[in-house]
């Protein structure tokens, strides 16, 4: 399939291919929408097997960013970038600075940040060539690692789910199964334990398990058992696509709220969860804390403002769960509806021409 055939389906505005022969940079930047503001999304550094695999990933991820920003009420559009290569061996100063120059040439239509395979240190290099790079290190004036903020947003969403299910936002006494105790999962477990919830964890890496068990006094189960643990809330904080046709019949929870991106393998899985009466809080609403954190860097980072904004994920989640209840649809569909309504309503403001440019 050609690129134009692809974007005719996905509705993207612009795809940019960047290449630097000397450093071996091969980057694809996808701008899905700038209706609400500049397209913000991280740069994924990954050893894709083919260009078409990289293109498919960047198209899917950038569209997701449009919905994530809109559902969070941010004046941002959706974009994402991928760099084809092995982050362990292919990174260099030249590569990131060449990439920074390509990002800069877009004049702020696309703003990048860290993602899987890139770090705050890499963003410091990109930022030497463009101001349109966020998520850089605290030493360079950035907000640093967003994971604890993402965990705080996840906690706010969890309280909304508790409110919806049991008429009380408190997590005390509720039983949680947390899949993956990396940067976000472990920070989330800490918040749950401090609030006197019961927590069971799993991770595919032994050091992560022992760190969580020793630090927080939680129980662990093998990775292949966590999804079927008898619990009130299951929290996927590892990789995507874990909730699928095969695993849904084995779930033993009343709700799913987790940080992992793209938790549902397909859109039909949202319906399957409804049939099983399991409440699913859409991942792109729940895990918006990281995006809110980098977005604030655009305004001159304020921790207090960021935390206030992240705590409003409680309200955003409530709105979506209530819309789903009223409409009789899945929360996933409701979240897309809320995001699309905002893109239409606020994006339409652009027809009132302002003095000067129309950048946010």
Task: Supply the residues annotated as catalytic.
Answer: 80
Interaction between residue 317 and ligand NAD (CB under 6 A)? no
Q: How far is the CB of 101 from ligand NAD (least distance, A)?
A: 27
Q: What distance in Å separates the CA atoms of residue 224 and residue 203, rounded to the nearest whole number?
A: 10
Q: Is 228 helix (H, G, I), strand (E, B) or coil?
A: helix
Cβ-closest position to ligand NAD: 182
Q: How far is the CB of 218 from ligand NAD (least distance, A)?
A: 14
Q: Which of 183, 312, 319, 337 binds ligand NAD (CB under 6 A)?
A: 183
**37 vs 290 by CB, closer to ligand NAD:** 290
Q: Which region, judged by CB under 6 A, interacts with ligand NAD, from 123-131, 146-154, 164-172, 323-331?
A: 146-154
Interaction between residue 74 and ligand NAD (CB under 6 A)? no
Binders of ligand NAD: how many residues, by CB under 6 A? 25
Interaction between residue 287 and ligand NAD (CB under 6 A)? yes
**25 vs 187 by CB, closer to ligand NAD:** 187
> Are the C-beta atoms of 330 and 266 separated by less than 8 Å?
no
Q: What distance in Å separates the CA atoms of residue 237 and residue 213, rounded to the nearest whole number?
A: 16
Tokens describing residue 159: 């309280």
Tokens describing residue 174: 């509720």
Interaction between residue 237 and ligand NAD (CB under 6 A)? yes
Q: Which of 83, 184, 234, 257 binds ligand NAD (CB under 6 A)?
A: 184
**255 vs 260 by CB, closer to ligand NAD:** 260
Interaction between residue 306 and ligand NAD (CB under 6 A)? no
Q: How many residues does the chain have?
A: 360
Q: Which of 147, 220, 306, 309 binds ligand NAD (CB under 6 A)?
A: 147
Residue position matching structure tokens 């403002």: 305
Q: What distance in Å separates the CA atoms of residue 143 and residue 299, rounded to the nearest whole number?
A: 12
Q: What distance in Å separates the CA atoms of residue 128 and residue 236, rounded to the nearest whole number?
A: 36
Interaction between residue 135 and ligand NAD (CB under 6 A)? no
Q: Which of 185, 282, 331, 347 binds ligand NAD (CB under 6 A)?
A: 185
Q: Which long-range contacts (CB under 8 A, 24 or more apart) does 236-242 make?
A: 236/179, 236/180, 236/260, 236/263, 237/154, 237/178, 237/179, 237/180, 237/181, 237/182, 237/184, 237/185, 237/188, 238/179, 238/180, 238/182, 238/185, 238/203, 238/204, 239/180, 241/265, 242/179
Tokens describing residue 317: 């989640």
Q: Which of 180, 282, 331, 347 binds ligand NAD (CB under 6 A)?
A: 180
Q: What distance in Å separates the CA atoms of residue 317 and residue 285, rounded to the nearest whole number?
A: 7
Interaction between residue 117 and ligand NAD (CB under 6 A)? no
Q: Which region, judged by CB under 6 A, interacts with ligand NAD, from 104-112, 158-166, 179-187, 294-302?
A: 179-187
Interaction between residue 160 and ligand NAD (CB under 6 A)? no
Q: How far is the CB of 141 from ligand NAD (least distance, A)?
A: 19
Interaction between residue 182 and ligand NAD (CB under 6 A)? yes
**Quick count: other Cβ atoms within 10 Å of Cβ 61?**
23
Contact code string over 239-278 relative to ligand NAD, x by CB under 6 A: xx------------------xxx-----------------
**213 vs 346 by CB, closer to ligand NAD:** 213
Q: Got the DSSP string for 148-186?
A: HHHHHHHHHHHHHHHHHHHS----TT-EEEEE--SHHHH
> Are the C-beta atoms of 269 and 296 separated by less than 8 Å?
no
Residues near ligand NAD, by CB under 6 A: 146-147, 150, 179-185, 202-205, 208, 223, 237-240, 259-261, 287, 290
């Amino acid at each position: 399939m050609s690129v134009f055939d692809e974007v005719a389906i996905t509705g993207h505005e612009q795809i940019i291919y960047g290449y630097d022969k000397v450093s071996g940079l091969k980057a694809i930047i996808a701008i899905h929408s700038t209706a609400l503001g500049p397209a913000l999304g991280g740069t994924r550094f990954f050893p894709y097997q083919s260009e078409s695999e990289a293109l498919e990933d960047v198209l899917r991820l950038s569209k997701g960013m449009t919905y994530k920003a809109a559902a969070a009420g941010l004046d941002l559009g959706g974009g994402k970038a991928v760099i084809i290569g092995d982050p362990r061996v292919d990174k260099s100063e030249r590569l990131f600075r060449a990439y920074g120059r390509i990002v800069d040439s877009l004049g702020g239509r696309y703003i990048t940040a860290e993602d899987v395979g890139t770090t705050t240190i890499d963003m410091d290099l990109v930022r030497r060539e463009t101001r349109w790079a966020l998520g850089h290190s605290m030493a360079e004036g950035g907000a640093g690692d967003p994971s604890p903020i993402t965990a705080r947003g996840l906690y706010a969403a969890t309280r909304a789910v508790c409110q919806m299910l049991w008429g009380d936002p408190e997590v005390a006494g509720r039983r949680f199964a947390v899949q993956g105790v990396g940067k976000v999962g472990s920070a989330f477990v800490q918040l749950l334990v401090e609030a006197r919830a019961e927590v069971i964890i799993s991770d595919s890496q032994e050091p992560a398990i022992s760190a969580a068990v020793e630090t927080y006094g939680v129980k662990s189960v093998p990775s292949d058992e966590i999804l079927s643990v008898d619990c009130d809330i299951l929290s996927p904080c590892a990789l995507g696509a874990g909730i699928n046709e095969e695993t849904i019949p084995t779930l033993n929870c009343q709700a799913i709220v987790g940080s992992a991106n793209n938790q549902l393998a397909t859109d039909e899985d949202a319906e399957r969860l409804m049939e099983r009466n399991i409440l699913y809080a859409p991942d792109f609403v729940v895990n918006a804390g990281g995006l809110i954190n980098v977005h604030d860097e655009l305004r001159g980072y304020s921790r207090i403002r960021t935390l206030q904004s992240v705590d409003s994920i409680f309200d955003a989640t409530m709105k979506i769960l209530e819309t789903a209840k009223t409409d009789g649809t899945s929360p996933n569909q409701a979240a897309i509806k809320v995001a699309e309504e905002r893109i239409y309503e606020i994006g339409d403001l652009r027809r009132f021409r302002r003095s000067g440019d129309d950048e946010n």
